[in-house]
Amino acid sequence: MRLNSFEALNAFAKQLERNICGSEFHTKIVVTPSSVNEKGVVIKVSLLKTFVQAEPPAARASRTLRVRVSVAGTAESMTGLKQATEAIEAVDNFLLTKNLRLETEDGSGVPNSRIIQSISKEDSFIDNPDLTAVQDVQDDRIVLITIPTGGD
């Protein structure tokens, strides 16, 4: 199956949504840009770059998407803090799956694809300077998704 970057981004968001479950909270997955402005915590999936490496020549057989996955929003109570930590843990558990591959909507793996992550070392919970009862949540990780190209 050959996917373009847009299709791969949306397939990844759906795969993330299918695999982030089991907690008492349902955290919405949003592909940006989006007009969604929800209270609380959401998981944002943002395309940062899509590219094919020129060298070595064998690298041209695949395309890489650099995607930011952010657990973002505000924790306005202990319940909000619990939801944020559970969402971060669920993203971690999913992205730490061994030999993680991109999947289509029916859950079948895309051959010759892979998903790897790097985690930001920045703090994820920041005190809101305007409100002492609120913490801003911004837990970022960069995900590299490699998919086969339709090339030679």
Cα separation, 4 vs 144, in Å, equals 15
CA angle 62, 56, 11 (to 5 degrees): 15
- Stated as kind and residue range, the H or E segment containing 10 is helix 5-19
How much is the pTM? Answer: 0.86
Q: What is the CATH number of the domain that holds 75?
A: 3.30.2000.30
Region 5-14 average pLDDT: 95
**103: DSSP letter:** B
Segment 23-45, tens digit of pLDDT:
677 788 999 988 767 777 899 99
Phi then psi dihedrals of residue 55, to 5 deg:
-130, 145
In this prediction, what percent of the chain has a pLDDT beyond 70?
89
Q: Given this model, what pLDDT does residue 1 score?
A: 67
Segment 48-77, tens digit of pLDDT:
999 998 777 776 788 999 999 999 888 888
Residue-averaged pLDDT of the chain: 85
**57: DSSP letter:** G
Domain assignment of residue 121, given as a range: 5-148
* Ramachandran quadrant class, 115 (left: phi over 0; alpha: psi -120 to 50; beta: rest): beta
State the total domains in the chain: 1
- Interstrand relation of 114-119 and 62-75 (parallel, antiparallel or unpaired): unpaired
Q: Given this model, what pLDDT does residue 35 score?
A: 72
